[in-house]
A and B are shown apart, each in its own frame.
Chain A
Amino acid sequence: MPEIIYREAIKRGLEEALERDPRVFMMGEDIGEYGGAYAVTDGFLEKFGPERIKDTPISEQAFMGAGIGAAAAGLRPIIELMSISFSLVAFDQIVNMAANLRYMSGGQISVPMVIRAPTGAGVQLAATHSQSFETWLAEVPGMKVVCPSNSYDALGLIRSAIKDNNPVFVAEPALLYGAKAEVPDEYYEIELGKARIARAGSNITLVSYGYGMRPVEAAADRLSMVGVSAEVIDLRSLNPLDMDTVVASVQKTHRVVVVDSARRTGGIMAEVAAEVQQRAAEWLDGPVMRVGSVDVPWPYSHDLEQKVLTDSDDVLNAVSEGYGL
């Protein structure tokens, strides 16, 4: 199977949609002439023209809102934010408007729109440019949130996101844009809201998503070297959350560690932990263990940032602390 990098996978999904459906168009800062801050839309302006590849002013609130309006009128906008940290400027539009419109109007208005943004820390962009707000957005009813961890999922999920009739936020871990994975030429989609068992195992369940899959996969490798078989689950979707897959795994392994590369406190993994506790407490041999990045603003210094960021040592420590493995 051919291998492609994550950036190319997202790009392919966007390109197909632009070719297939004239209602699909894109908006964002420097997505056209500049080619995209992370080069995802490189060449799009030449191919699709300025009507459909709209460079915006640095006005996140306004173009997010305009996207919502265009979607309400039946278009299918795809909005790129340069960083998920900048989503804060548009949060009012995303949360109060996009996610609420359908409910408030008694189902009269839908907002079929995709919002994409690079997310996460790890490249020394410091406090204002390294955050992971997909975990905040995941608790907002009326919208969906996905965060693919590899090229295959990225393409399958972006295809489904664009076809979905709701606002869908696609968080793309910036550290993964260059990561390669096998992607078939044959068309496929991945249903939004379905987790993936990345690796089957029997002794312990490790749950993560997005960039968090890196430390989790590394920890699973290290565990296998000492004879511990870890089942690794990639949530892929944070809302809806596929708790059935997680609970079924815990019922099999009786142990679980939930891992986020975002800050530890309050995020989506608090939700996962609470649900596991409620639905599978009697199956567990120990506490639901939770791992995340340190609860401080992101530091610039390489050493400090790496210490703050979740790594496989953190995962193994939790495995050992919770279950003595």
Chain B
Amino acid sequence: MASRTKPRGKNSSKTANSPKAGKNGASGAAGLDESDVAIKGDHLELFRQMFLIREFELACGENYARGFIRGFLHLYIGQEATGVGAISALGENDYIVSAYRDHGHALARGVDVNRAMAELFGRSTGLSKGKGGSMHLFDAAKGFMGGHAIVGAHLPLAAGLALAQQYEKTEGITMCFFGDGSTNQGVYHETLNLAAVWQLPILFLLENNGYGMGSAIERVRAGGKDFYPGLATYGIPAVEVDGMDVLAVKEATEIAVGNIRAGGGPQFIEAKTFRFVGHSYADGQKYRGREEVAEWEERDPVVTFPENLIKMGLASKEQIDRVKAETTAVVENAVKFAEESPNPDPTEIFTDVLA
């Protein structure tokens, strides 16, 4: 049974499954009010990360069209607030595991932007020397443990990382991102049960964007589109959070991470979010209406968050513009870096197969 560790005040964000829900209170779309001034952490930095992800993803789309990026490309556009808010609550010794929509998580973790882009270009300078591509980003030194493209397959990997953290008493925890669609895999249920039985230091972070490819979650899930409440979490405490609100996500994650570090065992967060673009680059999106997308786009965190920062006097327009200009340059530079990087040497075919 899901019990709710209730995050503070309105940011507990009782979002129903409508993009409008976050607007119900007195706060704006990004859920910012006077009390948020007190939230520690650098608002501008959160904005920078979200904007970086957005620019990076747009550049990926362009370079897919140019033929520099190939294979499957799943963009994180629209979900930036979830990844940035959640990862901002982690420390150096924590692990992150993601699925194939992994660019945003990797960037929020602070992987090298140039090397991330080079990986998508399949170049030798890429994070995985060009061997993994978009769906398989890794930066083990930063605790970013992939990038996994078999739906659901990475959940037990995350449990195993957490098991090692528990075993070696590192104080670290593992954060595992996964989509609504992946909860229909048997291995999701097996992993939650295992984590609960062993009380592993793991945070399950469900990014409920309402769709698994072309399947609206309520068409393929007996429990409907809202996981929380009524979520079968095998006793793991769960909360729901507005995934379009970076501060709400950050706060909910800080509480959950705190609970884990205090020995509270696994925790679960459902972030309600939305991808503004197709499942992958090839998706014509005939399964959903343009209006639904437009409604969610009104809550675009990359737009609303800086607007609110300015409104609240937490940042000036000049500061925001400077972050934007700098970040745009970073991404342009990354594309240039990737373009100019050499392809992997043919001998690389045989390296890294065995340790």
Given A58-B212, A129-B149: A304 and B219 within 8 A (CB)? no
Whether A308 is near chain B, meaning CB under 8 Å from some CB there, is yes
B136 A57 Cβ-Cβ under 8 A: no
CA distance A71 to B78 in the complex (A): 42
Whether B241 is near chain A, meaning CB under 8 Å from some CB there, is no
Number of A residues near B (Cβ < 8 Å) is: 36
Nearest B-chain residue to A50, judged by Cβ: B219
Q: What is the minimal beta-carbon distance from B33 to any residue of chain A, in angstroms?
A: 39
Whether A279 is near chain B, meaning CB under 8 Å from some CB there, is no
In the assembled complex, which residues on chain B have CB atoms less than 8 Å from the CB atom of A58?
A: 151-152, 181-182, 184-185, 212, 215, 220
Number of B residues near A (Cβ < 8 Å) is: 41
In the assembled complex, which residues on chain A have CB atoms less than 8 Å from the CB atom of B122?
A: 124, 300-304
Interface residues of B in 48-88 (CB under 8 A from A): 70-72
Whether A203 is near chain B, meaning CB under 8 Å from some CB there, is no
Whether A123 is near chain B, meaning CB under 8 Å from some CB there, is yes
In the assembled complex, which residues on chain A have CB atoms less than 8 Å from the CB atom of B262?
A: none
Whether A260 is near chain B, meaning CB under 8 Å from some CB there, is no
Interface stretch of the complex, out of B22-30, B294-302, B317-325, B341-349: B341-349
CA distance A247 to B286 in the complex (A): 51
A299 B186 Cβ-Cβ under 8 A: no
A33 B346 Cβ-Cβ under 8 A: no
In the assembled complex, which residues on chain A have CB atoms less than 8 Å from the CB atom of B128?
A: 300
A307 B136 Cβ-Cβ under 8 A: no
Q: What is the minimal beta-carbon distance from A103 to any residue of chain B, in angstroms?
A: 26
Chain A's interface: helix, strand, loop or mixed, by majority?
loop
A307 B220 Cβ-Cβ under 8 A: no
In the assembled complex, which residues on chain B have CB atoms less than 8 Å from the CB atom of A124?
A: 70-71, 122, 133
Given A34-B287, A129-B149, A296-B353: A55 and B130 within 8 A (CB)? no
CA distance A101 to B128 in the complex (A): 44
Whether A56 is near chain B, meaning CB under 8 Å from some CB there, is yes
Q: What is the minimal beta-carbon distance from A27 to any residue of chain B, in angstroms?
A: 12
B150 A59 Cβ-Cβ under 8 A: no
In the assembled complex, which residues on chain B have CB atoms less than 8 Å from the CB atom of A88?
A: 150
Contact of B130 among A30, A86, A304 (CB under 8 A): A304
1/0 contact trace for A295-319 toward B, CB 8 Å?
0110111111001100000000000
In the assembled complex, which residues on chain B have CB atoms less than 8 Å from the CB atom of A86?
A: 150-151
1/0 contact trace for B96-134 toward A, CB 8 Å?
000000000000000000000001001100001011111
In the assembled complex, which residues on chain B have CB atoms less than 8 Å from the CB atom of A234?
A: none
B349 A307 Cβ-Cβ under 8 A: yes
Nearest A-chain residue to B70, judged by Cβ: A124
Interface residues of A in 1-56 (CB under 8 A from B): 29-30, 33-35, 37, 55-56
CA distance A209 to B186 in the complex (A): 34
In the assembled complex, which residues on chain A have CB atoms less than 8 Å from the CB atom of B151?
A: 58, 86
Whether B135 is near chain A, meaning CB under 8 Å from some CB there, is yes
Q: What is the minimal beta-carbon distance from A317 to any residue of chain B, in angstroms?
A: 16
Given A85-B150, A126-B133: A307 and B346 within 8 A (CB)? yes
Whether B37 is near chain A, meaning CB under 8 Å from some CB there, is no
Whether B167 is near chain A, meaning CB under 8 Å from some CB there, is no
A126 B135 Cβ-Cβ under 8 A: yes
Nearest A-chain residue to B72, judged by Cβ: A125
Q: What is the minimal beta-carbon distance from A68 to any residue of chain B, in angstroms?
A: 16
In the assembled complex, which residues on chain B have CB atoms less than 8 Å from the CB atom of A308?
A: 349
A294 B181 Cβ-Cβ under 8 A: no
Whether A128 is near chain B, meaning CB under 8 Å from some CB there, is yes
Contact of A303 among B132, B182, B214, B344 (CB under 8 A): B344
A33 B150 Cβ-Cβ under 8 A: no
A33 B215 Cβ-Cβ under 8 A: yes
Whether A61 is near chain B, meaning CB under 8 Å from some CB there, is yes
Given A59-B184, A129-B149: A300 and B72 within 8 A (CB)? no
Q: What is the minimal beta-carbon distance from A211 to any residue of chain B, in angstroms?
A: 17
Interface residues of A in 139-184 (CB under 8 A from B): none
In the assembled complex, which residues on chain A have CB atoms less than 8 Å from the CB atom of B182?
A: 58
Whether B221 is near chain A, meaning CB under 8 Å from some CB there, is yes
In the assembled complex, which residues on chain B have CB atoms less than 8 Å from the CB atom of A37?
A: 213
CA distance A303 to B348 in the complex (A): 11
B136 A126 Cβ-Cβ under 8 A: yes
Contact of A56 among B132, B133, B220, B346 (CB under 8 A): B220
Q: What is the minimal beta-carbon distance from B339 to any residue of chain A, in angstroms?
A: 14
In the assembled complex, which residues on chain B have CB atoms less than 8 Å from the CB atom of A73?
A: none
Given A89-B150, A126-B135, A128-B149: A30 and B215 within 8 A (CB)? yes
A126 B149 Cβ-Cβ under 8 A: yes
CA distance A297 to B212 in the complex (A): 27
Contact of A304 among B136, B212, B348 (CB under 8 A): B348
Q: What is the minimal beta-carbon distance from B221 to any residue of chain A, in angstroms?
A: 7
Given A35-B286, A126-B135: A299 and B185 within 8 A (CB)? no
CA distance A120 to B184 in the complex (A): 26
B149 A299 Cβ-Cβ under 8 A: no
B343 A301 Cβ-Cβ under 8 A: yes
1/0 contact trace for B155-194 toward A, CB 8 Å?
0000000000000000000000000011011100000000
Can you list 23 pairs linking A and B with CB atoms under 8 Å apart? A29-B215, A30-B213, A30-B214, A33-B215, A33-B286, A34-B215, A35-B214, A35-B286, A55-B215, A55-B220, A57-B215, A58-B151, A58-B220, A124-B70, A124-B71, A126-B133, A129-B135, A129-B149, A297-B131, A299-B344, A299-B348, A303-B122, A304-B130
Chain B interface (Cβ within 8 Å of chain A)? Answer: 70-72, 119, 122-123, 128, 130-136, 148-153, 181-182, 184-186, 212-215, 219-221, 286-287, 343-344, 346, 348-350, 353
Starting from the known contacts A62-B186, A300-B71, A303-B343, 16 additional A-B residue pairs (CB-CB under 8 Å) come to A30-B214, A33-B287, A34-B286, A57-B184, A58-B215, A125-B72, A126-B133, A126-B149, A128-B153, A296-B350, A300-B119, A300-B122, A301-B122, A301-B130, A304-B130, A308-B349
Chain A interface (Cβ within 8 Å of chain B)? Answer: 29-30, 33-35, 37, 55-62, 85-86, 88-89, 123-129, 294, 296-297, 299-304, 307-308
